[in-house]
């Protein structure tokens, strides 16, 4: 009886391992995620600067600014961008959170996060809104290090993205270009 119990569990597991012996990653990573990673050259681009006009299937599109709102009194902001899903599958962006830092001085300026989860249908463009805040120390940094400048180069650091229930953390800085000083 013991041998039969072991055989009913071990045989199917062994068969699956043999079937995937040349690609064990496929046992745990869904094919849709593998497609995203392979087609885009990486899940997260290293530089988000650009016009977002790429039309190649399977490439992440650079978000295109729609509008932004700032409240100086509370040091908060919201930014809305258009994002095009060029993949053949629907995407749900559940989380987007990062810290912003001055590229030149690596000084932490504040943080941003997704306002609410967003579904991005395959082949469609969807508006995504992120909100955040800048610190009082950031204002002092602008005055002491960037006096007279109208914009500073900003990086996103400690980025966390949850896409379709899969969380990815990016440790390398992602340059988002020049951000106007308000």
Distance in angstroms (rounded) separating the CA atoms of residues 123 and 34? 18
Q: What is the 3-state secondary structure (H, E, C) of the chain?
A: CHHHHHHHHHHHHHHHHHHCCCCHHHHCCCHHHHHHHHHHCCCCCCECCCCCCCCCCCCCCCCEEEEEEEECCCCEEEEEEEEECCCCCCEEEEEEEEEEEECCCCCEEEEEEECCCEEECCCCEEEEEEEEEECHHHHHHHHHHCCCCCEEEEEEEEEEEEECCEEEEECCCEEEEEEECC
The CATH 2.60.40.10 domain(s) of the chain lie at 43-180
Residue pair 78/131 in contact (Cβ under 8 Å)? The answer is yes
Residue pair 127/81 in contact (Cβ under 8 Å)? The answer is yes
Indicate the SS3 state at residue 37.
Answer: helix
Decide: pTM greater than 0.85.
no
**Mean pLDDT lowest among 24-33, 60-69, 130-139, 159-168:** 24-33
Which tokens belong to 98? 């990062």
Higher pLDDT pick, 37 / 79 = 79
- Give the pLDDT band (50/70/90) at residue 180: confident
Mean pLDDT of 53-70: 66
Which tokens belong to 106? 């690596």
Residue pair 100/132 in contact (Cβ under 8 Å)? The answer is yes
Indicate the SS3 state at residue 154.
Answer: strand
Q: Where are the alpha helices (DSSP H) in the chain?
A: 2-19, 31-40, 136-145
For 73-90, write each residue's pLDDT tens digit.
Answer: 898 888 888 888 888 888
Mean pLDDT of 46-53: 46
CATH architecture under which domain 43-180 falls: Sandwich (2.60)
């Amino acid at each position: 009886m013991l041998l039969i119990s072991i055989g009913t569990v071990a045989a199917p597991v062994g068969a699956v391992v043999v079937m995937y012996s040349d690609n064990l990653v496929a046992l745990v990573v869904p094919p849709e995620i593998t497609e995203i990673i392979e087609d885009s050259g990486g899940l997260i681009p290293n530089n988000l600067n650009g016009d977002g006009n790429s039309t190649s299937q399977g490439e992440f599109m650079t978000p295109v600014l729609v509008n932004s709102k700032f409240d100086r009194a509370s040091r908060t902001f919201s930014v809305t961008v258009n994002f095009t899903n060029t993949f053949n599958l629907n995407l749900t962006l559940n989380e987007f959170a990062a810290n912003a830092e001055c590229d030149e001085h690596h000084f932490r300026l504040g943080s941003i996060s997704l306002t609410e989860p967003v579904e991005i249908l395959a082949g469609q463009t969807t508006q995504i809104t992120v909100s955040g805040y800048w610190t009082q120390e950031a204002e002092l940094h602008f005055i002491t290090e960037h006096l007279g400048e109208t914009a500073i180069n900003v990086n996103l650091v400690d980025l966390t993205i949850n896409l379709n229930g899969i969380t990815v953390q990016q440790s390398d800085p992602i340059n988002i270009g020049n951000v106007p000083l308000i």
